[in-house]
Structure 1
């Protein structure tokens, strides 16, 4: 009998390991789909204007609309997850994304609404993945694969769209529509491998895509649900300082990324580069961040390294930006590479903070919606602010100094996010006096 139980346990562990590997593949593919909707359009803006007959004033909206949608639609993911579960919610978001990518190239009437809908679908999936990762309890490599997948999708969306256009006989519409295919595959994988499976004990269990309670309410500063004190109302995220620090970190790194994406090539041309070389350096900026996006969450799994990285990356970005002002052209390749590494690692740390600073998957889902919703709304102002500052001062120095100041604020936010209290929306003992908290912590779940 004992041997049979052991065989069942080993078999279940193998099944869970197999399922988790496929889950990581599905999550990575979902991540891959979260940027081509933006970068593929940015690569063929002029062709779109001539082919679709778009008003020139509508062209900038094709890049700005998805980012604006990110900020406005953050609650959509948690709302859908409460009704169908986070796994199916991500699958639905991928299907909507595929439909938007296919439909928006039918004409100028569909283009702008389709672009906005693509942004909504991207945000719905994006805010739920930290919840999935937190439930999966494999927060290092899985988060790294997630962030690297996003960077890879951004780079390939920008770099392959024009070659795809030539492959399809010069059709820019088909070159854009082809990015719906990986979205469909991602939807199928996350759906197939998101159903509850057996636990290692063989008694059934919770899938990584199933909502769960926090593993340790005590760690989050909470009290047991069943004790002599009673159940306390959860403390809202808006009243938790660490949640705001994580949100600020996410928003500032996103603002820096979109600001640099929109202005780096123009700055390099100002420094004496040809437009072709400046565009290549922009591609290098994205590619250099790919390994950092993979490794940063793994390194950040150690608290001492996380504390160092969350502050040090902002300081590094500020130093590199200011050095670029005075550096000769020969050094710009190295500096742009360093900037890309810091940016890629910064995004990886931002996603890691959402996951590991949350007490459980429910908290991670809500914190993800808050940090990405407010963060992307903040990020949408970055490129606009950089352009307005350049137009007002007519000097790149003012813009670069402003970006360096943002990087310093990023370092401050990272420090506060790591040093602050663990975030939880489950149970809070903030209202208890000190002795009561101590006694409830000793009592354990009852």
Structure 2
């Protein structure tokens, strides 16, 4: 079989456009509506998507302008995906959990449990948190600095994956006749002592169906790329051009060898914001429907958050993006991307806020299924992507448009599956099942 691309459905309650919640076809309470998420999961699975992806923040935006957005109430991702595991069979279930405001034992236990519940479909999106407000909910006055966050994340990953190997695959005999529940020789106590953590182990969950849940990351800074090359199996990234995506792809894949890894062991899936229409004019009209609801102050507030937790409200809306210091609490790679975008297109603050209101800096495609498939094929075949994390403006409509329009076109071109290859997320992504490090 020829190489085929991978697709993730990036779910964000009402949709990715900051004004999506105002659309009459979008459930206003989508963030806490399980029936809504169940429908989304089943749409994506019927279209043979590889994964569902749910991002997270452990702080609610409460500044004045937050009352104009639908970003302050939503399910905790692992709880949601555990419920969705019972109403799906094949699609992967990826949740974000921060290494800055969790403990490794908690994360290891929860994702191992999700992997068992789902029959081997769990993935952990390892993040260091880019929302400075989270610190205030965990006994800190300010967010952990960028360098320390990544140092902590590297050790956090080491502990979690070590705990996932606490038991060999066949350690639990559960032999009623002999009275042996597990084989003690197949138990491995981690006994980790490091700079940030002391964790004895073992994990009180048997080794999971995938051996270990899939590790996902989204950092694109220099530090983030190095961590991804060492530890990640899937990388989500924001890239705005083919050339930029090709450079990122080549750079990240080129770092794998020094960690003893092959190019196929890491799948790079750029985010792509997609608006689908039967004609290009219809797609543009759909997009403009959302854009007309973007209040300038809302767009600028979103921009300040994406640039690295800056308050831009004191700057004139019709003025340029001000010179900002390098963020230490947010995403440095996203700050660089958006600053370059503003300069390249000579955008005012309001214009830049409006421009990112849907895709937040991700590559945007607005057009027919054929036009969109052509661009995805170009990136896939020209060394820019192994697949895509799909962002749609509103849910469920935007996901239905992609599933019923773009997916069949990709299948017609031989670029995307018509049936799942296996039952686990690793099998469908083409990732090896890791051996237990203690064996």
Shorter-chain TM-score category?
under 0.3
Of the two, which has the highest radius of gyration?
A: 1
TM-score normalised by structure 2 residue count: 0.24
Structure with greater helix share of residues: 1
TM-score normalised by structure 1 residue count: 0.24
